[in-house]
Amino acid sequence: MNQDPRNPKTILATGSIIQDRSDHDASLLKYRVAAVYNPDSSELWNNIGMCFFGKQKYVAAIACLKKSLYLDPFQWIAAFNLGLVHLNTRQYASAYHYFSAAINLKADFSNTYMYLGITLNRIGDVESAYKSFEKAL
């Protein structure tokens, strides 16, 4: 930050650290600056979406996460995060869709199987939920 305060990757990293401490408003300020220099960053829109999720602004979170996937359709974390938002808003079919997409992109992330199992259980498919939980373990 001292040598190049306009570097979008540095600003994104700083905002991410602030976001990890649950200061979503300060993170969004950093991300606003980063968006000026790199508006087509999938990682940036993913982080912005998760800030809105943390602030319980679900429509904005979904819009930002979908933009992230639009910019990089192979970013598994954006698909995973969209699954989380949809699960939290009780949109189980959409959650299933995004968790399945995340598994197809990164099959070795066990949390995805766990949340997929929760989603399947909420839908009423207990047998598939059990298999998903086993895979998570």
> DSSP assignment of the chain, as one string?
--S-TT-HHHHHHHHHHHHHTT-HHHHHHHHHHHHHH-TT-HHHHHHHHHHHHHTT-HHHHHHHHHHHHHH-TT-HHHHHHHHHHHHHTT-HHHHHHHHHHHHHH-TT-HHHHHHHHHHHHHHT-HHHHHHHHHHH-
- Residue 52 within a domain: yes
φ and ψ of 74, to 5 deg: -100, 10
- Residue 92 within a domain: yes
- Residue 1 within a domain: no
- Residue 3 within a domain: no
Question: pLDDT tens across 45-66, in order?
Answer: 999 999 999 999 999 999 999 9
Q: Say if residues 85 and 58 touch (Cβ distance below 8 Å).
A: yes
- Residue 101 within a domain: yes
Q: How confident is the model at residue 8 (pLDDT cuts 50, 70, 90)?
A: confident
Domain limits at 26? 8-136
* Predicted pLDDT of residue 2: 55
Question: pLDDT tens across 71-114, in order?
Answer: 999 999 999 999 999 999 999 999 999 999 999 999 999 999 99
The CATH code of the domain that includes 85 is 1.25.40.10
- Residue 34 within a domain: yes
Q: What's the number of domains the chain is made of?
A: 1
- Residue 110 within a domain: yes
Q: How confident is the model at residue 7 (pLDDT cuts 50, 70, 90)?
A: confident
Q: Mean pLDDT for the chain?
A: 93
- Residue 82 within a domain: yes
